[in-house]
Amino acid sequence: MNKSCWRSKISPTKNYRLTWYKDLGLHAFGEFSMAMIQANSVMEDQCQIESGPLTFNNPAVQGTFIGVYGGHGGPEASRFIAGNLFLNLKKFASEGGEVSEEVMRNAFAETDEDFLSAVKKLLVCN
């Protein structure tokens, strides 16, 4: 589905490349699809879709998590967020039994702290 949609949007003067797509996944209210198209020589942005259980211990807590993370000057932070934010959300949602504003705040805060810690370790080693 996505392949046919993005082809019509390509500029003849730019070299865009489809880097990632998810066709017709299911969520509570129907279907979704998503595509990521690279316009620069280095893909700095990241995106993710997670649909299903939002906790590790209660499969009844269901939802669809969509993340779009801008690289703005480098891919490291957006890649880190894509690899950690949803897991932190599931961790805090598992502890609280639901997804709430507090769970979201805690997931973002822990992801931020973990990234800053990783950066500090790199700076000390260099």
What digits encode the pLDDT tens for the residues 68-86? 888 876 789 999 999 999 9
Q: How many CB atoms lie within 10 A of CB 92?
A: 21
- Express each pLDDT in 6-62 by its tens digit: 444 545 555 667 666 677 776 767 777 777 777 666 777 888 888 889 999 999 999
Question: Would you call 60 helix, strand, or coil by DSSP?
Answer: coil
First to last CA, the chain: 46
Where is pLDDT greater, at 41 or 110?
110
The amino acid sitting at 99 is V
Token readout for 24 is: 């017709």
Which of 63, 11, 18, 15 lies closest to 36 in space, CA to CA?
18
The residue written with tokens 């039994």 in the block is: 97
Give the mean pLDDT of 97-123.
Answer: 95
More reliable by pLDDT, 5 or 63: 63
Q: Closest Cα to residue 48, out of 74, 16, 4, 83?
A: 83
Band of pLDDT at residue 115, cut at 50, 70 and 90: very high
Position with higher pLDDT, 100 vs 22: 100
More confident: 2 or 26: 26
User: What is the spatial distance between Cα 51 and Cα 42, in angstroms, rounded to a whole number?
Assistant: 28
Of 79-83, 100-104, 120-124, minimum mean pLDDT range:
120-124
Instruction: Give pTM, 2 decimals.
Output: 0.75
